[in-house]
């Protein structure tokens, strides 16, 4: 009989739990853990995947913005054979494109007017 009584008490307690909707602002611990997992994945891709060439050393810092959002500043040292000595080499990697004035007028105005 004690087994049945214990199960009824447990079922009653589980049913009385209210479900609360939570946002990321309510759980900074989870937000930070997810950020760290994504940062580790990015760093692994940068070092092992070598999109810019062989990486000799890496340093990064993590800081939190006013809205409590984390961000990272990353500095990579590349092997001498993978340096990009000319502007044309750098332009192969880094590029920018303005939003279309026709397709995205709000994005276009935000870039042009800032």
- pLDDT (0 to 100) of residue 24: 66
What kind and span of H or E run contains 34?
helix 28-44
> Stretch 2-21: mean pLDDT, rounded?
47
- pLDDT (0 to 100) of residue 20: 60
Say whether pLDDT at 66 is over 90: no
Enter the tokens of residue 60: 């990064």
- pLDDT (0 to 100) of residue 3: 45
- pLDDT (0 to 100) of residue 45: 92
The pLDDT tens digits of the residues spanning 67-86 come to 778 889 999 998 888 877 78
| pLDDT greater at residue 8 or residue 60 | 60
Residue 53, classified by CB atoms within 10 Å of its CB into exposed (0-12), middle (13-18) or buried (19+), is middle
* Number of neighbouring beta carbons within 10 Å of residue 16: 7
Domain segments of the chain as ranges: 24-112
Say whether pLDDT at 37 is over 90: yes
């Amino acid at each position: 009989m004690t087994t049945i009584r214990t199960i009824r008490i447990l079922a009653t307690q589980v049913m009385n739990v209210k479900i609360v909707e939570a946002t990321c602002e309510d759980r900074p611990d989870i937000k930070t853990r997810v950020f760290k997992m994504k940062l580790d994945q990015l760093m692994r891709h940068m070092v092992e995947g070598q999109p810019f060439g062989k990486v000799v050393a890496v340093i990064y810092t993590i800081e939190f913005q006013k809205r409590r959002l984390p961000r990272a500043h990353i500095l990579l040292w590349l092997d001498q054979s993978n340096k990009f000595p000319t502007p044309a080499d750098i332009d192969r990697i880094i590029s920018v494109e303005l939003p279309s004035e026709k397709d995205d007028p709000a994005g276009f105005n935000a870039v042009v007017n800032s």
